[in-house]
Structure 1
Amino acid sequence: MRALLIIDVQHDFLPGGSLAVTDGDSIIPVINGLQKNYDLVIATQDWHPADHGSFASQHPDINVFDQFDLYGLEQVAWPDHCIQNTEGADLSPLLNTQLVEAIFRKGTSKEIDSYSAFFDNGKKKSTGLTGYLRERDITELHLCGLAADYCVYFSALDSLEAGFQTAIISKATKAIDKTIYMDKKEHFLQLGGKIL
Structure 2
Amino acid sequence: MDLNMTISDRDVLLVIDVQNDFCTGGALAVPGGEKIVPAVNRIAQKFTNVVLTQDWHPREHVSFAPNHEGKQPFQTIELDYGTQMLWPTHCVQGTAGAEFHRELEVLRANLVVRKGFRHGIDSYSALFENDHKTPTGLLGYLRERELKTVFVAGLALDFCVRFSAEDARAAGFEVAVIENACRGIDLDGSVAATHRSFRERGISVVSLEAFP
Paired position in structure 2 for 1:186: 196
Over 4 Å off, 4+ runs: none
User: In 2, distance between residues paired with 1:25 and 1:63?
Assistant: 26
- 1: CA distance between counterparts of 2:142 and 2:45? 18
Distance 1:73 1:61 in 2: 20
Inter-partner Cα distance in structure 2 for 1:88 and 1:71: 28
Q: How big is the alpha-carbon RMSD for the aligned residues of Structure 1 and Structure 2?
A: 1.0
Deviations 1:61-103 (A, max 9, x none): 2111002112342011100000001111001110011210110
Please say if 1:100 is aligned against 2:118: no
- Inter-partner Cα distance in structure 2 for 1:123 and 1:187: 17
Per the normalisation by structure 1, the TM-score is 0.97
Q: Which residue of 1 aligns with 2:185?
A: 176
Q: When the two structures are aligned, how many residues end up with a matched partner?
A: 196
User: Please, which runs of 5 or more residues in structure 2 have no aligned partner?
Assistant: 1-9, 207-212
Deviates more, 1:182-191 or 1:149-158: 182-191
Say whether the 8 Å CA contact 1:45–1:89 is kept in structure 2. Answer: yes
Normalised TM-score (structure 2): 0.90
Decide whether the 8 Å contact of 1:53 with 1:70 is kept in 2. Answer: no
* Pair 1:139-2:139 in alignment: no
* Alignment partner of 1:89 is 2:98: yes
Q: Which moved more, 1:50-59 or 1:181-190?
A: 181-190
Kept after mapping to 2: 8 A contact 1:71/1:111? no
User: Retained in 2: the 8 A contact 1:35–1:41?
Assistant: yes
Structure 1 residue aligned with 2:21, among 7, 12, 19?
A: 12
CA distance in 2, matches of 1:155, 1:88: 22
Could you tell me how far 1:186 is from its partner in structure 2?
1.2
Residue aligning to 1:50: 59
State how far apart, in whole Å, the 2-side matches of 1:163 and 1:175 are. 25
Q: Which runs of 5+ in 1 are unaligned?
A: none
> Which residue of the other structure, out of 156, 168, 173, is the alignment partner of 1:164?
173
| Alpha-carbon distance between aligned partners in 1 of 2:120 and 2:15, rounded to the nearest angstrom | 25
Percent identity reads 42
- Aligned residue type for 1:59: H
